[in-house]
Amino acid sequence: MKGTQKVNVKEIRQALKDRINELKGEIVGLTNSMTIKESTKSTRRHALRRDLRIVTLLAEVTKTISAEEMMLTEEALMGFNQLCYPAVAGSRVVVQEGDSILLLMEEYSEVKDLLSKLNKAADKIGCRLDFATGKVVKK
């Protein structure tokens, strides 16, 4: 069949299981976050819970498959990959007060225009990059 690909069912199950755990962790982290506005938390929590329901459904469906491999269309495989391996929107650079600038630059070395993104992330939390101390400090 044109436009289909064989995939390993065990790998699909494991990817779904990993994504379920990841989503649950994100929901807990979001709930405990004090740096995010409630309206943003609510919107993000809704999206995470929706993804969790979809991934859980797919995990249950794959439990019924006894074959070791199955055929998926390219479109279905792309949807699965987007759900289980989401691309980071933009390039989320996370900065907290007291972080080492050098360690942040190493951690996000693949991010384009890193310095401006670090500055922007620090500004969002009321901080700035202090190159004299090499740390993220309050303004």
In this structure, the number of other CB atoms found within 10 A of the CB of residue 24 comes to 12
CB count within 10 Å of CB 57 equals 11
Cα diameter, the chain: 62
> What is residue 90's predicted lDDT score, i.e. its pLDDT?
56
* HSE-up of residue 113 (Cα within 13 Å, Cβ side): 8
Q: Indicate the Cα dihedral angle 10, 15, 20, 21, nearest 10°.
A: 100
**Does the model's pTM come out above 0.85?**
no
| pLDDT score, position 91 | 59
pLDDT averaged per 10 residues, the chain (length 139) = 82 94 90 82 92 96 92 90 74 85 90 87 88 93
Nearest to 12 by CA among 73, 87, 65: 65
